[in-house]
Amino acid sequence: MDTLSPDEIARYKRHILLPEVGGAGQQKLKHARVLVIGAGGLGAPILQYLAAAGIGTLGIADDDRVSLSNLQRQVIHDTGTIGELKSQSAADAIARLNPHVTTLRFEERFSPETAAMQLSGFHLLIDGSDNFDTRYAAADAAEAARIPLVTGAVGRFDGSLTVLKPYESGPDGALYPAYRDLFPEKPPEGLVPACAEAGVIGALTGVIGTLMAMEAIKLITGAGEPLIGRLMLYDSLAGRFDMVKYRRRKPKA
């Protein structure tokens, strides 16, 4: 691996001081290539914290443009970027934050048709989308590519996240669960309203998005225990975190 420059050593000093990360872990972050689906409520803090952490290459997949109603939660954008493509606005913000990070922009929506092209060359996928079609497409694509997936969701005052590596086995020899072991089928149309219909508290996306960035850093550096087979739930009104364990479902006879 390339050595860290003096500027990078100074920039990431607080990481390097951590025994769980150190110089070797920071080099892993530098050489990591991470694709983030969505530059919105979840994608904003994910991209900001991964850029600040020194991820070498960040892919941004988003076909939307910045609107005024986004700014209550999508903090990577600002009033001056209204009307711009979110992928471009986010890339510009990342460049201002950390010039050592390379960004790759994908202005097509992540889907089964675009997944292989967009995922090519990336080591990790993070899904910050706001719809089930994209979530299932992300889960299928990451499993096919045999790369980890960090996925999260928010609604009104609640959020959740988990990590998926269904192509690997755990200590007991059993395969880790897949996305459909957690959510076998998409909910009926209209059952789960979008935030544009139901609303969402802006700071909630910061909480869940930052936790998703933390899971990505753990996966890349090898620090800690990722949320594999565990769904973390956050109730912002109660100020409570809960954990739900889940396993691979047995095939139907």
Tens of pLDDT, residue by residue over 44-76, are 999 999 999 999 999 999 999 999 999 999 999
Return d(Cα 113, Cα 179) in angstroms, integer: 19
| Confidence grade of residue 192 (pLDDT, cut at 50, 70, 90) | low
Token digits for 147? 């790369």
Return d(Cα 56, Cα 132) in angstroms, integer: 29
Please state, in angstroms and as integers, the Cα–Cα distance from residue 134 to each residue in 109, 114, 131, 186, following that order. Answer: 8, 11, 6, 11
Q: What's the mean pLDDT when you consider all of the chain?
A: 94
Q: Could you tell me the pTM of the whole model?
A: 0.94
Please give the DSSP secondary-structure letter assigned to residue 70: G
Alpha helix (H) residue ranges in 98-226: 115-119, 132-145, 179-182, 195-198, 202-221
Tens of pLDDT, residue by residue over 5-23, are 999 999 999 999 999 999 9
**Spatial CA neighbour of 135 closest among 169, 157, 160, 158:** 160
What pLDDT score was predicted for residue 41?
A: 96
What pLDDT score was predicted for residue 196?
A: 64
